[in-house]
Structure formats: C-alpha cells, structure tokens
Amino acid sequence: MNFKMMRTLFRTDLLIFVREPAAAFFTFAFPVLLLSILGEIFGRFPFQFTLPDGTVVDTTYISVFFPGFVAFIIANLALQSAPIFLASQRTTGWFRMLQLSPLRLSWVIIIRVVMYFAIFVFSYAVMFVLARQIFDLRFFGQLLPFGLALLLCFVSFGSIGFLLGGLFNSASTTQAVASIIFFLMYFTSGSAIPRDQFPDWLFRATELNPMTHVVDLLIAVWTGQAFDQLWVSALVVALVGVAGFVLTPLTFRWDAEG
C-alpha cells in the first residue's frame, strides 16, 4: 500500500511540476535555448587544454564548458524550482493534508528528491544529445568520477533548495529571494560567461560563490583533470551541502503557521 501511495505521489508531484508554465520553461526549454544561442556564438571556437599526462588537446569551447550548462540545470532546479514548489505546497495546505495520510513526511521529501533527480537526468540527457549532434561535443574524463561529481553537486545544492523552501511564509517571497540568489550566482559563476574574462577583482570575488565551485568541479572532472586541480572545489561543494542538511531541519515548516 505504501509503495502504491509513493508511486501515486511521485506521479502527482511530477504532473504538478510540468504543468507549471514557468517551471517547465526554465527547466526544459530555457537550457536548450541557452545552449543553442551560446553554442552558435562561442561553441565552435577553438580551445586548447592539457591533460594530466601532458597531452595537449585541441578541441572547441563547447567541449570544455558544456558542464557550465549542466550546472545551470542543477542550480535552476535546486535554487528556483524546488524552493518555490515547496513554499507553494506548504501555503496551500498540501503538506498538512499529507500529514493525514499513512505515508511518513520524510518519505514525501525523499519522493520529491527522486522526482527532481529524474527531471535533472532527463534535462541533462536532452542537452547532451543536442550538443553532441549539433556541436560535436566531446568528453575527456571518466564516467564514474563525473557521475559522482554530478551527484555531489545535485545533493549539495538540493539541500540549499530545501533550506530556502522553508525560510519564508509566502510563496511570492520565496520566489523573489530564490530568483535573486539564483541569477546572482549564475551570472558570476562562469556558467554564463567564462570567469577568465572577468576583471581581476570580480574573478577573486566570485570565489565566494558556491556555484563557481560547482562549475569548476564539473569542468575539471569533464576534462579529466588531476585531483589536485579539483579537490578545493569538491570540498567547498561538500561543505555547502553539509550546511544545508544541518540547517534545513531547524528552519523547515510543514505548514505556514507552524
């Protein structure tokens, strides 16, 4: 019975999500639009980097900075979609209604995480196939380290998303704050514009942006860089996730009054 309820809740949450125009656009359509525009402008520019064994690789911009688009999907889901969705369902009494069901609320959170991960995998697959077909995308790393890095970034930013989703009483306030945080992080992380084009003061300041380390970590693993070039970013991302997991139970509310 519980498994059937979990499956029903997963399907219901997914339908609610995809039927929300803003969430569906920014999750599925906007990343593809962004990839198409930036890919056509910068994607075929020649780019050179060196593998840990000393091999010099001549490739294109898109084959190195594609993980920046992946970071955009993670941040968009975690910092915009998840907090707004959580806040709206709390204010409408959805969580309070679920308290009357036999399903534990902890499983509600687990189902929501699985739902967002499924959405992320689908969005990533669409982006990868598109970049592969149009821009001849190449992968220079190893699948296992890259998969683990993706999982770390997703879980870390997901914890921040749940933290934001429980801070404010209204969905409109959550949406405003989440949008400000997301776009500030996005445009200063190197996901939209490579950070090597920033002025020196801005380059140094953006080291404080957690999304910067998500982008740097994913690019390093994607291009097969050595551990000494990615451990700092991996540590920062992990610490951000730990902070989110510690603070979320202290701030999250199941209803607007509690």
Tell me the pLDDT tens digit for each residue of 119-141. 999 999 999 999 999 888 889 98
Q: Which residue pairs, CB below 8 angstroms and at least 24 apart, start in 103-108?
A: 103/2, 103/5, 103/6, 103/9, 105/254, 107/2, 107/6, 108/9
Q: Is residue 145 part of a domain?
A: yes
pLDDT grade for 8, boundaries at 50, 70 and 90: confident
Tell me the pLDDT tens digit for each residue of 229-250. 788 999 999 999 999 889 888 8
> Crossing angle, helix 82-91 and helix 143-165, to 10 degrees?
30
Q: Is residue 8 part of a domain?
A: yes
Q: Please give the pLDDT value at position 228.
A: 76
Query: Which amino acid belongs to residue 159?
Result: S
Tell me the pLDDT tens digit for each residue of 26-69. 788 888 888 888 888 877 888 888 877 778 888 888 888 899 89
Q: Is residue 87 part of a domain?
A: yes
Q: Is residue 91 part of a domain?
A: yes
Percent of the chain at pLDDT exceeding 70: 96
The owner of tokens 């399903």 is: 103
Tell me the pLDDT tens digit for each residue of 65-90. 899 899 999 999 898 888 888 887 77
Give residue 182's domain range: 3-251
CB 71 within 8 A of CB 79: no
DSSP structure class, residue 256? S
For every residue of 182-244, DSSP letters joined together read: HHHHHHTTTSSS-GGGS-HHHHHHGGG-HHHHHHHHHHHHHTT--GGGTHHHHHHHHHHHHHH
Q: Is residue 222 part of a domain?
A: yes
Domain count, the chain: 1
The pair of three-digit structure tokens given for residue 80, joined into one six-digit string: 């915009």
Q: Is residue 256 part of a domain?
A: no
Q: Please give the pLDDT value at position 255.
A: 67
Q: Is residue 108 part of a domain?
A: yes
Res. 105: pLDDT tops 70? no
